[in-house]
C-alpha cells in the first residue's frame, strides 16, 4: 500500500477497485490483480487545459491513474477532518490504519468500552486542543476514484478507519469506516473535470 504525507498530518493511501474503470475490461475473476493490470497500462499524456477550464479542473486520466499521476485531484479535494470532544475529560476516537502493523491482515479492532468516553481503547487524537483548529496526531486517510458511468461523473472517496464506534458496550460496535464522497462534473470542453 502506498502512503503520501500531506500538510496538516494527513496521509492518503490508494484503494484499488476493479469495477471503477469499466473501459479497461477487467475480469475480476482473472488471475492477475488489478494493480498488476493497471501497472501495464500506458498513462496518456495530459493535454493542455482548455481556457474554459478553471484552476481546480483535472483531466480524466488523473482520476483513472490516480496513484501514477501524483494524486493531484485527491490533494485538491482533500478534506479537513474535525474532531470534537464531548467533554474535556473525554477524548474522541482517532482514526488509524485499516490493517494490522504488518499491513497483511485487517486491523483487529477493539470492543467498545463500558465507559462513556468514546476514545477508550482508541488511538490518541493528540494533545488537548489549545484553541480552534489545533492539529492532531497523524492518521491515515484512504482515497479512491471511481467512474460512475450511469451518472457521467467521477467520484472520489475519502475514508477513515476507527477500531470502534460509540460509547458504552450496548451503544457501539467494533470496526467503523467513515468517509465522504466528492463528486466531479465535466467541464464544457474535453475530458476535464471540476468539483461539483
3-class state of residue 117 by DSSP: coil
d(CA 162, CA 159): 10
Contact 95, 162 (CB under 8 A): yes
Q: Please give the grid coordinates belonging to residue 77.
A: 479535494
The helix or strand, by DSSP H or E, that contains position 164, with its residue range, turns out to be strand 153-165
pLDDT of residue 154: 95
Q: How do residues 152-186 score in pLDDT, each as one tens digit?
A: 999 999 999 988 887 666 777 888 899 999 999 99
Q: How do residues 37-67 score in pLDDT, each as one tens digit?
A: 556 677 888 999 999 999 999 999 999 999 8
Instruction: State percent of the chain over pLDDT 90.
Output: 30
**Mean pLDDT, residues 85-111 taken together:** 80
**Mean pLDDT, residues 141-147 taken together:** 91
Question: For the ranges 22-31, 32-41, 105-114, which has the lowest average pLDDT?
Answer: 22-31
Whether pLDDT at 121 is above 60: yes
Question: For the ranges 43-52, 55-64, 79-88, 132-141, which has the lowest average pLDDT?
Answer: 79-88
pLDDT of residue 76: 92
pLDDT grade, residue 128 (50/70/90)?
low
**Mean pLDDT, residues 134-141 taken together:** 82
Q: Alpha helix (H) ranges present in 1-153?
A: 34-40, 60-64, 72-77
d(CA 186, CA 196): 9
Q: Alpha helix (H) ranges present in 19-109?
A: 34-40, 60-64, 72-77
Strand order across the 139-148 sheet? 3-6, 10-14, 139-148, 153-165, 173-186, 192-195, 58-59
pLDDT grade, residue 86 (50/70/90)?
low
pLDDT of residue 39: 62
Amino acid at each position: 500500500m502506498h502512503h503520501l504525507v500531506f500538510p496538516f498530518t494527513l496521509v492518503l493511501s490508494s484503494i484499488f477497485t476493479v469495477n471503477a474503470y469499466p473501459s479497461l475490461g477487467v475480469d475480476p475473476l482473472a488471475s492477475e490483480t488489478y494493480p498488476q493490470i493497471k501497472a501495464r497500462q500506458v498513462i496518456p499524456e495530459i493535454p493542455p487545459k482548455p481556457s474554459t477550464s478553471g484552476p481546480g479542473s483535472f483531466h480524466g486520466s488523473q482520476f483513472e491513474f490516480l496513484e501514477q499521476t501524483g494524486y493531484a485531484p485527491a490533494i485538491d479535494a482533500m478534506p479537513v477532518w474535525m474532531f470534537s470532544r464531548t467533554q474535556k475529560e473525554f477524548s474522541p476516537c482517532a482514526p488509524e490504519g485499516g490493517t494490522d502493523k504488518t499491513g497483511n491482515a485487517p486491523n483487529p479492532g477493539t470492543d467498545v468500552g463500558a465507559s462513556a468516553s468514546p476514545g477508550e481503547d482508541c488511538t490518541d487524537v493528540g494533545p488537548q486542543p489549545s484553541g480552534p483548529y489545533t492539529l492532531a496526531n497523524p492518521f491515515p486517510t484512504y482515497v479512491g476514484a471511481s467512474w460512475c458511468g450511469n451518472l457521467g461523473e467521477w467520484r472520489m472517496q475519502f475514508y477513515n478507519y476507527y477500531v470502534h464506534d460509540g460509547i458504552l458496550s450496548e451503544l457501539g460496535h467494533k470496526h467503523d469506516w467513515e468517509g465522504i464522497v466528492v463528486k466531479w462534473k465535466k467541464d464544457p470542453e474535453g475530458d476535464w473535470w471540476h468539483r461539483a
